[in-house]
């Protein structure tokens, strides 16, 4: 007993000792230099962009080991227009914010959806893509309106925006909930429900592989926007990126990006205007 007590005291002491210096420095000291300002990036000669490495076709690595995808194509262009080289830092969904705050990257282009919670911790530049909830069903018996789902079964994955939307807004639809994408698509193929709802950007890629199905409802509820994430307080890069995206929109860059990086992976009924923004 005494030994256990001693061990606990010791380990607590060790933790405190290690955390004490961190705590004293935890107040938000105003950094004199911003390593991600436009001037600093130009001086360094590299733009560090956080991207996904496993989200095809937005940010992934092809068989030659080259980073490609809709987000990556944009990253290369931004670096080119800044006149610097691009350096990719691969991140997961849940360390996108930390990567910015720890100055590991200047910019996040990793399918970063703008949400009110995220706006508290990072700044978002102008969006360059939109997603919303879509509904996929058999081409032979397509569901094109939500009213067709009344009293019918609909497949969703837990924790997705699709689940949220139907639980809150469409209570008359019976939901069949699954844990993973693989499970939900198998259930649809086995005919366990009339239709399946998920992010439309994901469904477009799925119907390409399964031509018997169609995304009958492309957009439900409000769209979410995907935008570049920038560290809070980095106004110089934020302003530059906003101007840049306006310019790229004018020259039709995103349609080019769409045609090269997304079109080959999407079903034929998808149009660029379902994904990219007009202005």
Partner 1 sequence: MPHSGINVLFEGHNLVRLLGGLWTTVWIAALALVLGLSLGALLGALRTLKNPVLRLGLRLYLEFFRIVPTVVLLFLAYYLVPELFHVDSLPGSWMAVIAFGLWVAAEFSDIVRGALLSVPVHQRESGLALGMNRWQLFRYVLLPQALKLELPATINLATRVIKTTSLLMLISVMDVINIGQQIIEANNTTYRTGVFWVYGVIFIFYFVVDYPLSRWAQRLAAQQKV
Residue in the block written with tokens 């530059």:
240
29 binds partner 1 (CB under 8 A): yes
Closest to partner 1 by CB, 99 or 132: 99
Closest to partner 1 by CB, 13 or 83: 13
17 binds partner 1 (CB under 8 A): yes
What is the length of the chain?
279
Contacts of 38 (CB under 8 A, 6+ apart): 82, 236, 237, 240
55 binds partner 1 (CB under 8 A): yes
Segment interacting with partner 1 (CB under 8 A) among 59-67, 162-170, 211-219, 236-244: 59-67
CA distance 187 to 176: 9
Task: Give the footprint of partner 1 on residues 70-99 (CB under 8 A).
Answer: 89-92, 95, 98-99
CA distance 73 to 234: 23
Task: Give the footprint of partner 1 on residues 228-267 (CB under 8 A).
Answer: none
Among 37, 46, 56, 77, binds partner 1 (CB under 8 A): 56
The SS3 of residue 180 is coil
Closest to partner 1 by CB, 1 or 26: 26
Inter-axis angle of helices 235-250 and 70-82, to 10 degrees?
Answer: 110
Residue in the block written with tokens 């399964």:
210
Closest to partner 1 by CB, 20 or 222: 20
61 binds partner 1 (CB under 8 A): yes
CA distance 279 to 268: 24
Cis previous bond, 57, omega within 30: yes
13 binds partner 1 (CB under 8 A): yes
> Could you list the residues that contact partner 1 (CB under 8 A)?
7, 10-11, 13-15, 17-18, 22, 25-26, 29, 31, 35, 53-56, 60-65, 89-92, 95, 98-99, 101-104, 205, 209
């Amino acid at each position: 007993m005494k030994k256990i007590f001693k061990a606990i005291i010791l380990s607590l002491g060790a933790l405190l000792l290690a955390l004490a210096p961190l705590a004293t420095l935890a107040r938000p000291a105003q950094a004199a230099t911003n390593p991600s300002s436009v001037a600093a990036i130009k001086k360094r000669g590299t733009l560090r962009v956080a991207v996904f490495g496993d989200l095809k076709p937005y940010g992934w690595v092809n068989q030659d080991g080259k980073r490609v995808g809709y987000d990556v194509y944009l990253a290369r262009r931004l670096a080119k227009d800044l006149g610097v080289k691009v350096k990719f830092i691969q991140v997961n969904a849940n360390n996108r914010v930390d990567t910015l705050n720890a100055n590991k990257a200047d910019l996040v282009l990793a399918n970063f959806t703008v949400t009110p919670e995220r706006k508290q911790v990072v700044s978002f530049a102008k969006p360059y893509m939109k997603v919303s909830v879509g509904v996929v069903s058999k081409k032979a018996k397509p569901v094109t309106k939500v009213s067709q789902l009344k009293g019918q079964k609909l497949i969703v994955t837990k924790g997705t925006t699709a689940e949220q939307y139907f639980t809150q807004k469409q209570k008359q639809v019976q939901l069949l909930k699954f844990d993973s994408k693989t499970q939900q698509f198998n259930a649809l193929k086995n005919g366990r429900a009339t239709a399946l709802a998920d992010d439309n950007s994901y469904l477009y890629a799925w119907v390409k592989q399964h031509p018997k199905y169609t995304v009958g409802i492309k957009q439900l509820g409000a769209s979410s926007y995907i935008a570049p994430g920038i560290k809070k307080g980095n106004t110089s890069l934020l302003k530059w990126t906003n101007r840049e995206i306006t310019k790229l929109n004018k020259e039709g860059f995103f349609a080019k990006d769409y045609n090269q990086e997304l079109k080959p992976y999407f079903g034929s009924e998808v149009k660029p205007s379902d994904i990219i923004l007009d202005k």
